[in-house]
Structure 1
Amino acid sequence: MAGFECASQRRADKKRLDLIASTGHGQHVAADYSAVAGQGLRAARDGMRWHLIERMPGHYDWSSVEPMARAAARSGVQVIWDLCHYGYPDGLDIWSPAFPERFARFAKAAAAFVREQSDDVSYFCPVNEISYWAWAGGDMGRFNPSARRRSGELKRQLARAAIAGTHAVREADPRARFICAEPAIHVAPPSSRPKDVAAAEAYRLSQFEAHDMLVGRLMPELGGSPDVLDIVGLNYYPDNQWVLGAGAIPMGHHDYRPFREILTETAERYGRPVIVSEFGAEHTARPAWLNYVAGEVDAARKAGVPVEGMCLYPVLDYHGWDNDRVCDVGLFGFAGPDGRRPVYEPLAAELARQRPRFETAPDADDHRVVQLRREA
C-alpha cells in the first residue's frame, strides 16, 4: 500500500500544517495516484481535511476531497480515508462533549459522500494514532491542543470520538470497514532491577490502551465494544524500540524484539486481521527497512498471523513539521510543474523484489497461530 501524509494539526505556535497541500499531493493528485498504481500499489491511505470540509458547523464542502476520490478510482486504487489526522476545525474545543459529537456527524457525512462516489466497500481510519496524539498533544505540547500532563484525558477523549465516529459511519454505510492505526513499540528496561523491569513493561503495554478502549476492555464507560475494532493497524519505524529513559535499541541488539513477535502478540490479543498501517525510513535506509519489515511480515504470515497489508508511509517526500527541512522518506520526491515526481530507484527496486512474496496468500492450513473471532 501507499500512504499519503495528510497531517493537518496546528503546531504549538498556532501555525496550521497541511501536508496534502505542502507535498503538492492536492495539486497533483491525479498524477500521484497514477504513479503509485504504476508501482503496483493498488491501495492507499489518504486523508480528508476536516478543517477544510467543515469550516462552519454542520456545513460540509467536499471540494477538497472529490478530486482525490475521482483520481483514485480512475487509477484503480482503493483508499482508506483518514477522517481525523491530528487536525480539526478552528473554534472546536477538543476537551468538550461537543468534540466527539461533532466528529460523529462529520464521519457520517463523510461516509455518505464516499458511498456516493462508488459501490465498492469503503474503508476508514476514524482517528489516527490516538496514543501518539495523546502524548504529543496532551503531554509534550507539540501540537494541538498543546497541553501538558493531560495525555490520559486526551486519549480518552480521542477514543470517545473514534467510537462515536465508527458507529456514525456504519449508520451511513453498514458495509464500511475500519482500521485503528497505532504505534507498535517495544521498551526494554535499563537494568535488571525489578523496578526498572516493571516500569519498562508498563510502558510497553501502554501501546494497547487505545485498542483496549475501543473494544471496551479498558474504561468501558467510553462506549467501546468488540464490534468497534475491525482491522488492527500497527505503525512501525526504526526508532519504535528503545531503552526506558535512554535511546533507541539498534537492530541486532539482544534487546531488539523481532517485528514478527509484535505482529503475533497483537493479532493474538485481539483476534483481528492486522495491517502494517505505516512503515518507512529516511535517506538510504529506505530499501533496507522495506526489506526488514517485509521479511518479518512474510515470516509472521507463514506462521499463521493474518497480516493483510503493508503501507509505505509516507510515499512522498515532505517538509518537516517543525523546521520545514526536506524529509527524503518517500518512494517519490517533490513534483515538478507537470506533476511528475522523481522516483527513488533503490526503494522502487526493493519494492519490485518484495512484491512477488505477497502476490498469493498463505494456504488456509497455515493459519495456525491466530483464530479470527468477532468477540473480544
Structure 2
Amino acid sequence: MPQDFLSIVKRRYGDGGYAGDEHGGAAGSDGTGLPTGSPSNFMFATGIECSNPTIDNGRTRRDQLEECGHYARWRDDLRLTRELGLKVLRYGLPIHRIHLGPGKYDWEFADRVMAELRRLELTPILDLLHFGVPDWLGNFQNPELPVHFAEYCGAVAERYPWVRYYTPVNEIFVSARMSAKDGLWNEQLKNDRAFVTALKHLVAASILGTQMIAKHRPDCIIVQSESAEYLHEARAVPSTAVKLINMQRFISLDLLYAKPFDADVAYWLQDNGLTREEYDWFMAGEPPGYQIMGNDYYGRNERILLPDGSMSPAQDVLGWYQITHEYYRRYQKPVMHTETNVFEAGDAPSWLWKQWMNVLRMRRDGVPVLGFTWYSLIDQIDWDVALAVKNGTVNSCGLYDLDRRPRPVAAAYRQLLEEFGQITVVPHGELFVVGDQPAKLMIEV
C-alpha cells in the first residue's frame, strides 16, 4: 500500500527539529527585548525639546532648553534617556548660543553634552535649526541665512565627526508658516510673499547645510522632520482656498527633494516671489546623504473648517498612517515617525499605543518605517499657545515632568520597548546586516 510522504519523512528524521529559517538562519530572537544599539535595530527615540524662536518683535527668546531646565539638568536628562532603555535621541544644539557670528563659535556647552552622549552610547540625531536663528542673523527673511547656516553645519560636522544622523532644519513648513504667515514668531509677518521667502531660505539652508555635512561625513543620514498635516472642510462645495492649503503643505519637501509642483502651487509661488532661476536651482537634484522622510503627527495637526468659518479639532480622522502614506506615495522615501505627544498626561499612554499601531500597520503594508519618537523626554512650556505668549504654562506631554519624575507614558514606552525593542529596522532586515553577530529573526509586524 502506498505510503504518504510525511510518514516516510518522520521515519527517516523523526518528529520536529527540522532545519529551517525559523531563527533567521541562526539562533536568533523574535524581536523582543530592549534595544541593543545594533545597526539592525528599529530606531526608538525621544527628544529634548529645543525650540528657540523669538517673539515680541525679536525682543524675547523662547529658549525651551532654558525654560525646561535642560541647561542645568542635562546630565539627568541624558541619564533618564538611557535608563528608559532608549538608544537614540533627537537632540538640538542651541544655535543661538553657539553660532556667535561668521566663523565664531562657543562650543563649551555642546562639547560637554556631546561627550556625555558618546560615553552613554546614545546615538544623537542632531537637530541644527529648530524654529530660531541667532540674533545677529535676524530672522528667516534674511537672504544670507543659507550660507551662514551652511557654515555652521560644516563646523558641527567637523567638530563631531562620529555623528552620522542629522536633522538640518526642523519642520521647515511650520517654521515658515508660524513666522511669516501666522505672524507668531521671528519676523512675525502675515503675508504670502514673506511666507514664500521664508520657505525658500529655509529649504536652501537645509540643502546647503546637508552638502557641508556630507563633506565631512559622506555617509550621513538625514532625518528630515516635517509636520504631517491636513485641513478638512465641512462644506458641500470644497473651496479653492482649502484645496490650495492642502497642496501648500508639500512645498517644503517638494523643494527639498526636487519634486515638480502642482500647477496651482507653481503659479502661487511665482506670484509670491519664487523666480524661475530659483526654481531651477531647487529642481537640480536632491541633497546628498541617505534621506529619511520624518513625519511629525499631533492630533492638532488635523483640523476641520466648519461652515461658519470656525475651526474644530479633527484628531485621528485620518491619523498618522493615512496622512504619512500620502507623503510616502509622493516622495518614496523611507519614513520615521519623528514627533508625537498629547498635552493630557492621563491620555498619553493610549496615544502612544495608538501611534505605535499606526507604525505597525504601515510596516505591514510594505512602507519602510525605520523609527518612532515620543517627543519629548520632559514636559514643555507654553506650547498650548504655540510659544506666542510667555505664560509659563507647563504642558504635561513629556515622558518625565520638569522635576524629572516619570509620567505614566514613561512606563508605557518602557513596556513597548521591552516587547518590540529588537525588531529590525525593516522587516527581515537581518538579511542586510553583515557582521560577526548571530543573525536574528525579525518578529512579524
TM bin, normalised by shorter chain, reads 0.7 to 0.9
Highest RCO, 1 vs 2 (Cα 8 Å, sep ≥ 6) = 2
| Structure 2 SS opposite 1:268 | helix
Q: Is the aligned partner of 1:147 residue 2:193? A: no
Aligned twin of 1:288:
350
- The DSSP-based 3-state class of the residue aligned with 1:151 is helix
Tell me which residue corresponds to 2:201: 157
Q: How does 1:173-252 map to 2 (within 5 A)?
A: 173-193=217-237, 195-196=238-239, 198-218=240-260, 219-222=279-282, 225-228=285-288, 230-244=291-305, 245=309, 246-251=311-316
1:9 — aligned with what? 53
- Which stretch has the larger CA shift, 9-18 or 60-69? 9-18
Instruction: Return the offset for 1:68.
Output: 1.4
Stretches of structure 1 lacking an aligned partner (at least 5 in a row): 336-340, 366-376
Counterpart in 1 of 2:177? 135
- Structure 1 range deviating more: 142-151 or 219-228: 219-228
The AA in structure 2 aligned to 1:307 is V
What is the CA–CA distance in structure 2 between the aligned matches of 1:96 and 1:21, rounded to whole Å?
26
Contact 1:213 1:224 in 2 (8 A): no
Number of matched pairs: 349
Counterpart for residue 146 of structure 2: 100
1:274 CA drift (Å):
0.8
Q: Distance in 2 between matches of 1:211 and 1:180?
A: 9
- Between the aligned residues of both structures, percent identity stands at 26
- Asked whether the equivalents of residues 378 and 398 of structure 2 are also in contact (C-alpha less than 8 Å), the reply is yes
Partners of 2:46 and 2:377 within 8 A in 1: yes
- Structure 1 contact 163–223 (Cα < 8 Å) conserved: no
Residues 263, 300 of structure 1: 8 Å contact kept: no
CA distance in 1, matches of 2:371, 2:168: 18
Match of 2:410 in 1: 348
Structure-2 residue corresponding to 1:56: 101
CA distance in 1: counterparts of 2:210 and 2:334, whole angstroms: 17
CA shift in 2, pair 1:201/1:285, >3 Å: farther
Q: Is the Cα–Cα contact under 8 Å of residues 160 and 223 in structure 1 kept in the other structure?
A: no
- Name 1:359's counterpart in structure 2: 422
Quick one: which of 21, 25, 32 aligns to 2:77? 32
2:398 — aligned with what? Answer: 330
Tell me how far apart the structure 1 counterparts of residues 244 and 89 of structure 2 sit (CA, whole Å). 33
Shift of the 160–304 alpha-carbon distance from structure 1 to 2, 3 Å rule, reads same
- Structure 1 SS opposite 2:214: helix
The aligned amino acid for 2:126 is W
Corresponding residue for residue 172 of structure 1:
216
1:122 pairs, out of 135, 139, 164, with 164
Equivalent position SS for 1:2: strand
Higher alpha-carbon deviation: 139-148 or 102-111 = 139-148
Shift of 1:57: 2.1
- The answer to whether the 8 Å contact 2:77/2:377 transfers is no
Larger mean Cα displacement after TM superposition, 102-111 or 31-40: 31-40
Residue deviations 1:108-156 (CA, integer Å, cap 9, x gap):
00111111xx3xx511111111111111100122110222212122111
TM-score between the two structures when normalised by the length of structure 2 = 0.74
Gaps in structure 2 of 5+ consecutive residues:
1-44, 261-278, 430-445
TM-score of the superposed pair, with normalisation by structure 1: 0.87
Does 2:374 match 1:297?
no
Question: Is 1:319 equivalent to 2:381 in the alignment?
Answer: yes
Match of 1:86 in 2: 131
Distance 1:224 1:347, change over 3 A: farther
| Aligned twin of 1:371 | none
Partners of 1:200 and 1:10 in 2: CA distance: 29
Give the Cα–Cα distance (whole angstroms) in 1 for the partners of residues 204 and 56 of structure 2.
24
Q: CA separation in 2, counterparts of 1:60 and 1:223?
A: 33
CA shift at 1:293, angstroms?
Answer: 0.4
Distance 1:54 1:263 in 2: 34
CA distance in 2, matches of 1:231, 1:225: 16
Compute the displacement of 1:63 (Å): 0.9
Letter in 2 for 1:286: A
Contact 1:234-1:278 at 8 Å conserved across structures? yes
Higher gyration radius (CA): 2
What is the identity, as a one-letter code, of the residue corresponding to 1:236? Y
Q: Conserved in 1, the CA contact under 8 Å of 2:211 and 2:287?
A: no
For residues 237-289 of structure 1, give each alpha carbon's deviation from its aligned partner in whole angstroms, at most 9, with x where no partner exists.
011111135211144xxxx1142222322223222111111111112221121
- Contact 2:207/2:287 (<8 A) preserved: no
